[in-house]
Chain A
Amino acid sequence: DAKTTQPPSMDCAEGRAANLPCNHSTISGNEYVYWYRQIHSQGPQYIIHGLKNNETNEMASLIITEDRKSSTLILPHATLRDTAVYYCIVRVAPSNSGYALNFGKGTSLLVTP
């Protein structure tokens, strides 16, 4: 799986949009971008994933650049409960891989009142 690079930490004011970047310059054409988050002392929680088109669900939006070398996870209206470590993971389609998800260091997002 391709390597990802994320800033170690970010701050965001409550109610504002949180934009979390991820670089994955060596991504292959068949690899997806997945985002998970981990709230303190809990298991990782799936947020969203995409291949090349932008994606949106009830939790977040995922913007993938046209060359697919980077992406941004957007939490449109951050709340205090969004304080967590956010992991960007690049992987082949789950059906094509029996391997475990490989977690990097992620971005620690602190949402402040």
Chain B
Amino acid sequence: GAVVSQHPSWVICKSGTSVKIECRSLDFQATTMFWYRQFPKQSLMLMATSNEGSKATYEQGVEKDKFLINHASLTLSTLTVTSAHPEDSSFYICSARDNSGEQYFGPGTRLTVT
């Protein structure tokens, strides 16, 4: 079946630094990838939609200059959290859409900002 990986699975960074999270579709090409954020005891919230070769579309309330998304190839999208602060600590999940339109989810990345 379709597999999506994320790297790293968890990361701890200091306040003010930037951290990059990778999302890869391992056995299929994904023209569209999605980034979600999940705070404790809450549901997944869509942050942005990323289309290969074009600028990402951000949901209302998500700062595009803070959460930089790059989708440079059909199998890789990256999310960079710039100038991270403790309130950015969260569980970040990506998903990739295959040619049939189905979405497959990555295992998530736990970000802790100290």
Contact = CB atoms under 8 A, between A and B. Distances in A.
A101 B103 contact: yes
Majority secondary structure, A binding face: loop
A98 interface: yes
Interface residues of A, number: 22
Contacts of A41: 91, 108, 110
Interface stretch (B11-19, B71-79, B80-88, B94-102): B94-102
Contacts, number: 53
B113 interface: no
Pick the most buried of A46, A93, A100: most chain B CB atoms within 10 A of its CB.
Answer: A100
B95 A100 contact: yes
B89 interface: no
B34 interface: yes
Given A41-B110, A98-B32, A93 B101 contact: yes
A108 to B, nearest CB: 9
A42 B102 contact: no
B97 A103 contact: no
Contact of B97 (A42, A43, A98, A105): A98
Contacts of B46: 100, 102
Query: A44, A98, A106 — which one has the most chain B CB atoms within 10 A of its CB?
Result: A44
Given A43-B107, A44-B44, A94-B103, 17 more contacts: A41-B91, A41-B110, A43-B4, A43-B105, A44-B95, A44-B105, A93-B101, A94-B97, A94-B100, A94-B101, A96-B101, A97-B101, A98-B97, A99-B49, A100-B95, A103-B36, A103-B44
